Amino acid sequence: MDGSLAGRRIVLGVCGGIAAYKAVEVCRRLIDAGAHVVPVLTKGATRFVGTVTFSALASEPAQTELFGAADPIPHTRLGQSADLVLVAPATARVIGCYAHGISNDLLTNTLLATRAPVLLAPAMHTEMWEHPSVRDNVALLSRRGVHLVGPAEGRLAGGDVGAGRLADPADIALAAARVLAGVTRDLVGLTVLVTAGGTREPIDPVRFVGNRSSGKQGHAIADEAAARGARVVLVTTVERPVAPKVEVIRVATAAEMESAVLARAADADVVVMAAAVADFRPKAVAPEKIKKDEGLPEIVLEPTPDILAALGRAKRPGQTLVGFAAETTDVAANAAGKLRRKGLDLIVANDVSAPQAGFEHDTNHVVVLDADGVATDVPLMDKRGVARAVLDAVLARRGRTTREERDERE
Ligand code: C5P
């Protein structure tokens, strides 16, 4: 972690969920990194962990009361003086209140009274996390620029398994550092190669075999990576606006995409294959337009080169490879298989049959799986928000790998 936490004033909001006990670890990590931490516990949080625990660890005593405290206006003072408000765990109630401007306790008041960046680490049962009202509230907050870390998939209270588990405390502290460092610059020094759009495989000079990919998601990733300071190379099949700083290489077929990508992959730190590359192409391309009156043509297909699998085989240490899996059935299982087969670090799985998600839409709902089995559920939101979440997952993965390499060396 860099020094961006040192000396920064962080209000650590803790809500009433079983994951509240992990907020103690978050608090300790922030303190260890030199932050000034002010814990604010909801009434529910105090049912799971005592204020004494936080008061003993943090920089100031834990606060719980809107009224009756020594300070008559704690909510405005806390909100105004914070460099960051971090809520971990964030429950459905607090997310809902924050999204809709309802202030009914010290934490929700502080959230509404601050102009500092806000980072939420949601944690709740899968049924609650997947409820449309929670999804909408999270998407609304994300559109307003609120930062999110997690939730991950895994074991939940009561023995259930699913999406909604609080992100790892180390990842929460890392995300807080990134927000404070200015999210716009956290990719400086990295070269990111992105592919976008569907390939077109010619049948004859006027016809092709194609797919419904619009390139919107890949272009959003290129834009977001450029905004965050990366050097970005975009290999795309579509004519669609992209940030001026991005180097654009236009291609049409899988073979053209393959040569463009392989030529540029060696100096990329991160490769995101968001393109929908055709899996099959006509074996022979008719040199002239096939005439209707010549009868029904027979088009023989052959496989295209699997670019991502080739990248997986050629992957160098320190390179992060991200694939996409557009599925209509068994999304998570198919994506996990693909991740292993292609030697990827991360795979972004989307159910393209779901409403408002996948091809052509402006919004998307994805699950990001990493090679260690960490799964992050990204609820329905605009494709720029999804791009942000994918790049956050890339950085989390790179952070984890660096930590592991360092631990191995020590
Ligand atoms: O195996 P499948 O085609 O479903 O995998 C999808 C992922 O693999 C996407 O990231 C896509 O860009 C990539 N891909 C590829 N070359 C192909 C087919 C898919 O790189 N020929």
Tell me: do 399 and 362 sit in the same domain.
yes
Residue 307, ligand 1, Cβ within 6 A:
yes
Tell me: do 223 and 246 sit in the same domain.
yes
Catalytic residue selected from 104, 109, 137, 211 = 211
> Which residue in this structure is represented by tokens 């023989």?
300
Give the pLDDT of residue 27.
98
- 184 DSSP assignment: G
Tell me: do 213 and 157 sit in the same domain.
no
Q: How many CB atoms lie within 10 A of CB 317?
A: 6
Residue 277, ligand 1, Cβ within 6 A:
yes
Tell me: do 173 and 208 sit in the same domain.
no
Residue 215, ligand 1, Cβ within 6 A:
no
- Domain assignment present for 4: no
Domain range for 388: 191-409
Domain with 214 in it: what CATH number?
3.40.50.10300
Q: pLDDT digit string (tens) for 173-223?
A: 999 998 998 756 789 899 999 999 999 999 999 999 999 999 999 999 998
Nearest residue (by CA) to ligand 1, atom 21, is 306
- Domain assignment present for 169: yes
Domain with 77 in it: what CATH number?
3.40.50.1950
- Domain assignment present for 2: no
User: 336: Cβ–Cβ under 8 A, 6 or more apart, which residues?
Assistant: 347, 369
Nearest residue (by CA) to ligand 1, atom 19, is 277
- Domain assignment present for 1: no
What band does 311 get if pLDDT is binned at 50, 70 and 90? very high
The mean pLDDT of the chain is 91
Residue 338, ligand 1, Cβ within 6 A:
yes
Nearest residue (by CA) to ligand 1, atom 2, is 325
Domain final residue pick, 154, 181, 208? 181
Give the pLDDT of residue 50.
94
Give the pLDDT of residue 185.
73
> Which residue in this structure is represented by tokens 């009274």?
113
Domain final residue pick, 125, 152, 181? 181
Residue 312, ligand 1, Cβ within 6 A:
no
Tell me: do 88 and 232 sit in the same domain.
no
Ligand 1, residue 261: give the atom nearest the CA: 20
Residue 308, ligand 1, Cβ within 6 A:
yes
Tell me: do 117 and 158 sit in the same domain.
yes
260 CA distance to ligand 1 middle (Å): 15
User: 76: Cβ–Cβ under 8 A, 6 or more apart, which residues?
Assistant: 109, 113
Q: pLDDT digit string (tens) for 65-121?
A: 887 666 666 667 888 888 999 999 999 999 999 999 999 999 999 999 998 999 999
- In terms of C-beta density within 10 A (0-12 exposed, 13-18 middle, 19 or more buried), how is residue 72 classed? exposed
Closest CA to 318 of 220, 190, 218, 407: 190
Residue 331, ligand 1, Cβ within 6 A:
no
In testing the pocket of ligand 1, which one of 211, 235, 236, 306 has its CB within 8 Å of the most ligand atoms?
306
275 CA distance to ligand 1 middle (Å): 8
Give the lowest-confidence range in 66-70, 160-164, 293-297. Answer: 66-70
Nearest residue (by CA) to ligand 1, atom 17, is 306
Tell me: do 289 and 148 sit in the same domain.
no
- Domain assignment present for 351: yes
Tell me: do 175 and 266 sit in the same domain.
no
Per the structure, the count of domains in the chain is 2
- Domain assignment present for 344: yes
Is residue 211 annotated as a catalytic residue, yes or no?
Answer: yes
Tell me: do 196 and 177 sit in the same domain.
no
- Domain assignment present for 93: yes
Beta strand 375-382 with 363-370 is antiparallel
- Torsion sign, CA atoms 219, 225, 228, 230: negative
- Torsion sign, CA atoms 208, 209, 213, 218: negative
Closest CA to 214 of 196, 233, 229: 196
Tell me: do 244 and 287 sit in the same domain.
yes
326 CA distance to ligand 1 middle (Å): 9
User: Whole-prediction pTM value?
Assistant: 0.68
